[in-house]
Structure 1
Amino acid sequence: MVLSLRDVSLSLQGNAGVVDILHDISLEVAAKETVGLVGPSGSGKSSLLMLMGGLERATSGAVEALGHDLTAMDEDALARFRRGHMGVVFQSFHLIPTMTALENVATPLELAGVADAFDRAAAELDAVGLGHRTGHYPAQMSGGEQQRVALARAAAPRPDILLADEPTGNLDQATGAAIMDLLFGLRDRHGATLVLVTHSQELADRCDRTIRLVDGRLDRETRRTAEAAE
């Protein structure tokens, strides 16, 4: 399995005391599978995604990715693991405002020691339709264009795992549909496993499997039928 969670719980310290976010989550995600995490706001979807990426540390239980125990790694080891194996796309883009689109995509490649970082970054930007915007800064681009840059940045290292947190949440319907197509296209081009958080039923319906969370617990899962996949 590419991702494996066993009896995972997450509690965080809030202003009013400890808040229990996730309760005894166990699930597995296979290679090249696409899984949608759905559920009402506050159900723990984004927190679960962050645990999968080692961006949050489980209070109890075990989180494994590609056979590596993320719960046993320190922050530096987690950062190196993500850099080599994971791409993460956030709802709010998280681009570096003082860097051009090309520099935003090339930076993680440079940190990973990729010799042709800027050539690969340019190719990824071209793949998401932004070959003509490589020299532009985030403030000079629309929200949809910024999300395209974020997708290119996540895909450029050719990760084994793509994690996406509401990738269309800040976009209008038409732009969101285009981003959906790009996201699934990147998954297919790189053969990655994709896990995404979404409120969009249309996006969830494109996933191989949908997992619904309610109050921090797994509620049910639905697999796409062969008819729906056609």
Structure 2
Amino acid sequence: MADPILSLRDACLTLMGNAGPVEILRGISLDVTRGETLGLVGPSGSGKSSLLMLMGGLERATGGSVTALGQDLTRLGEDALARFRLGNMGVVFQSFHLIPTMTALENVATPLELAGHADAFDRAADELRRVGLAHRVDHYPTQMSGGEQQRVALARAAAPRPAILLADEPTGNLDGANGQAIMDLLFGLRDRHGATLILVTHAPELAARCDRVIRLADGRVEGEELRRAAE
């Protein structure tokens, strides 16, 4: 078996609450292969989003290790983590997290500019065209629907051509038609750029399209289902 693109070994996450420490994740061990699509499912509070945040270095494991592309994320400082994500990961959130004072084009171009791409705006315009928003490049988030804002967020995550694409409930705030469109776009991005896709979802139809599904409960891996072999 080829080296995994992402690997967790006994990864734990404990956060301080009002009543003391709270165990969010309890000894998670799993490997994700290059090009795989992995779905994380489970009831609310099971640790799905927290696990995704560990994978992306947006939360730091309080125990165990998280390795992405051969880099131990638990040993990196905040600046190094930010640089690593910028060059290797794209993240899509349920709440879009667009910059309200920037147009769609500027939102997508910003990470490209930060990464030093001289053609940032050309690449951003091309990515917006690919998600069907060529006519919205000069619009601000408040001038767009929820589905359109999520398309901008997808374009922003995909434009740097990340090796790993993380999506946290990407269809959670959308109606059925927009949710289906975003699902199709997500898997299209995976196919077009060859990214490894890891997503958190409550939607059975989205989980069904994944190569493998991990079910979490109470901060632990409760089960695993192989849907299809990753290419």
Report TM bin, short chain: over 0.9
**Aligned mates of 1:151, 1:45 — CA distance in 2:** 20
Cα deviation code 1:44-101 (max 9, x no counterpart) = 0000000000000001000000000000000000000000000000000000000000
Identify the residue that residue 6 of structure 1 maps to in structure 2. Answer: 9
- Identify the residue that residue 15 of structure 1 maps to in structure 2: 18
Please tell me the root mean square deviation across aligned C-alpha atoms, in Å: 0.9
1:117 and 2:120 aligned: yes
Q: Is the contact made by 2:37 and 2:198 (CA closer than 8 Å) also made in structure 1?
A: yes
In structure 1, the partner of 2:133 is: 130
* Deviations, residues 153-192 of structure 1 (Å, cap 9, x unaligned): 0000000000000000000011000000000001110000
Match of 1:181 in 2: 184
The number of equivalent residue pairs is: 227
Unaligned runs of 5+ in 1: none
Q: How does 1:78-93 map to 2 (within 5 A)?
A: 78-93=81-96
Q: Is the 8 A contact 2:11 2:66 kept in 1?
A: yes
Q: For 1:65, give the aligned amino acid.
A: A
Correspondence 1:98 to 2:101: yes
Give 1:40-119 correspondences, 5 Å limit.
40-119=43-122
Specify the SS of the correspondent of 2:134.
coil
Q: CA deviation at 1:225?
A: 4.5
Q: TM-score scaled to structure 1, two decimals?
A: 0.98
Distance 1:222 1:194 in 2: 16
Spell out the pairing of 1:169-208 with structure 2 (5 A cutoff): 169-208=172-211
For structure 2, the residue ranges without an aligned partner over 5 or more in a row are: none
Match of 1:144 in 2: 147
> Retained in 1: the 8 A contact 2:102–2:140?
yes
Are the counterparts in 1 of residues 212 and 228 from structure 2 also a CA contact under 8 Å?
no
Partner in structure 1 of residue 33 of structure 2: 30
- Equivalent residue in structure 2 for 1:156, among 140, 159, 162: 159
Sequence identity of aligned pairs in percent? Answer: 79
- Residues 111 and 220 of structure 1: CA distance in aligned 2, closer, same or farther (over 3 Å): same
**Runs (4+) off by over 2 Å:** none
Residue 168 (str. 1) matches residue 171 (str. 2): yes
Distance between the aligned counterparts of 2:123 and 2:17, measured in 1? 42
For 1:122, what is the secondary structure of its paired residue? Answer: helix
CA distance in 2 between counterparts of 1:17 and 1:148 reads 40
Distance 1:210 1:32 in 2: 15
Q: TM-score, normalised by structure 2?
A: 0.97
| 1:133-171 C-alpha deviation (Å, 9 max, x unpaired) | 000000000000000000000000000000000000000
Q: In the alignment, residue 206 of structure 2 is paired with which amino acid?
A: L
